[in-house]
Amino acid sequence: MSPGSRIKKVAAFMFRFLRVALVLGVAWACAFWLYENRTTPEKKPRQVPVPMVRVISLTPESKVMTVTAFGTVTPRREVKISPEIPGRINRLHPGFAAGGEFKKNDLLVGIDPEPFRLDLLAAQVRISQAQADIRSLEQEIKNLEKDKELYQAALALAKKELDRVKNLSARDFASKNSLDSTEQQVLSARIQHQAVISRLAMTTPLMAQKQAALAMARVDAQKADLALQKTQILADFDGFVLVRSARTGEYVTPGQVLAVIYEKGALDVDVKIPMEEMKWIRLDPAGGYLPEARMTLANMDAVADQAWEAAVARVHAEVDEQTRTLPLTLEIQGPLENDQSPGMELKPGSFVMCRIFGRQKDDLFTVPRHLLKPKDRLFLATDGHLEIRPVRVLRKVQDVVYIDAGLDPGDQIITTPVPGAVEGMALDIRADGE
Q: Decide if 296 is inside a domain.
A: yes
Label residue 259 by pLDDT band (50, 70, 90).
Answer: very high
Of 263, 286, 309, the domain-final residue: 263
Q: Does 42 have pLDDT greater than 70? A: no
Do 280 and 390 reside in the same domain of the chain? yes
Read off the pLDDT of residues 161-203 as tens digits, 9 standing for 90 and up: 778 877 877 777 667 777 778 778 888 888 888 888 888 888 8
Do 259 and 297 reside in the same domain of the chain? no
Q: Decide if 17 is inside a domain.
A: no
Specify the pTM: 0.65
> Shortest CA distance to 316 belongs to which of 307, 324, 326, 306?
326
| Rounded Cα distance, 286 and 30, in Å | 105
Q: Identify the CATH number of the domain in which residue 85 sits.
A: 2.40.50.100
Do 313 and 380 reside in the same domain of the chain? yes
Do 358 and 253 reside in the same domain of the chain? no
Q: Does 285 have pLDDT greater than 50? A: yes
Do 290 and 392 reside in the same domain of the chain? yes
Q: What is the pLDDT of residue 99?
A: 86
Out of 37-46, 90-99, 214-223, 350-359, the most confident range is: 214-223
Question: What percentage of the chain exceeds 70 in pLDDT?
Answer: 91
Q: Decide if 29 is inside a domain.
A: no
> Shortest CA distance to 120 belongs to which of 209, 229, 255, 212?
229
Do 239 and 295 reside in the same domain of the chain? no
Do 129 and 239 reside in the same domain of the chain? no
Label residue 360 by pLDDT band (50, 70, 90).
Answer: confident
| Rounded Cα distance, 363 and 405, in Å | 9
Of 263, 287, 305, the domain-final residue: 263
Asked whether the CA dihedral 423, 424, 428, 430 is positive or negative, the reply is positive
Q: Does 223 have pLDDT greater than 90? A: yes
Q: Decide if 40 is inside a domain.
A: no
Do 304 and 190 reside in the same domain of the chain? no
Q: What is the mean pLDDT of residues 115-125?
A: 93
Do 95 and 220 reside in the same domain of the chain? no
Q: What is the mean pLDDT of residues 116-129?
A: 93
Q: Decide if 67 is inside a domain.
A: no
Quote the domain boundaries for residue 158. Answer: 115-229
Q: Does 323 have pLDDT greater than 90? A: no
| 16 C-beta neighbours (distance < 10 Å), count | 9
Do 305 and 391 reside in the same domain of the chain? yes
The backbone torsions φ and ψ at residue 275, rounded to the nearest 5 degrees and listed phi first, read -60, -35
| Rounded Cα distance, 47 and 57, in Å | 30
Q: Decide if 47 is inside a domain.
A: no
Q: Decide if 58 is inside a domain.
A: no
Do 89 and 235 reside in the same domain of the chain? yes
Q: What is the mean pLDDT of residues 79-84?
A: 92
Q: Decide if 60 is inside a domain.
A: no
- Amino acid, res. 361: K
β-pair partners for 71 = 352
Q: Does 56 have pLDDT greater than 60? A: yes
Q: Does 304 have pLDDT greater than 70? A: no
Do 206 and 220 reside in the same domain of the chain? yes
**DSSP letter assigned to residue 372:** P
Of 215, 244, 263, the domain-final residue: 263
Q: What is the mean pLDDT of residues 76-86?
A: 92
Tally of domains within the chain = 3
